[in-house]
Amino acid sequence: MSFKILRFFLLFLVFSLLSVNCSGDDDSGSMDKLAAALRPLPRTWSTNSSSYCKWHGVKCASSMHVIEIDLNDMALSDSLPSEFPPFPYLQVLRLSRNKLTGPLPRFDAWPESISGTWMIPLEFTKFRNLSVFSAYNTNLEGSIPDIFDSLA
């Protein structure tokens, strides 16, 4: 009798863990929005795929949250979405060596609200998880404030 109870408990535990992992508490919606806005679409990316953690330039934590987006050298030639999708666990965002144009997107949906056009806003200091922001040789214009000293 105790073996049946143990087996039932283990099955219950496995299905509970699977349902938590598939509950939508991940970054799939944000990745779909970002993919829909990028031109050209980076290789291996899709606008309706749940396997975004396998996309080129994307790294995820075991929780399926995006921790790095590396778009360096992707030949992107359009503008970034006007409101960048939220990625609460993002640590690295790389945009270097593309032909991006237009204003710096609004980051209102991020953990801390920032906004700005052609400048890195002072609110960037509130992104405690962001350790790398690379945007050289992207045709973005404007001054970079001396705010990164407080992040060290």
User: What are the mean pLDDT values of the chain's consecutive 10-residue runs (152 residues total)?
Assistant: 52 44 69 90 84 94 92 88 83 86 67 42 64 65 58 54
For residue 122, what pLDDT is reported? 58
For residue 54, what pLDDT is reported? 93
Which residues contact residue 132 at a Cβ distance below 8 angstroms, ignoring those fewer than 6 apart? 91, 92, 93, 94
User: Given 3-state DSSP classes, what are the helix, strand and coil percentages for the chain, each rounded to the nearest 5?
Assistant: 30, 10, 60
For residue 26, what pLDDT is reported? 82
Domains of the chain and any CATH numbers: 25-151 (3.80.10.10)
For residue 120, what pLDDT is reported? 58
For residue 114, what pLDDT is reported? 35
pTM: 0.59
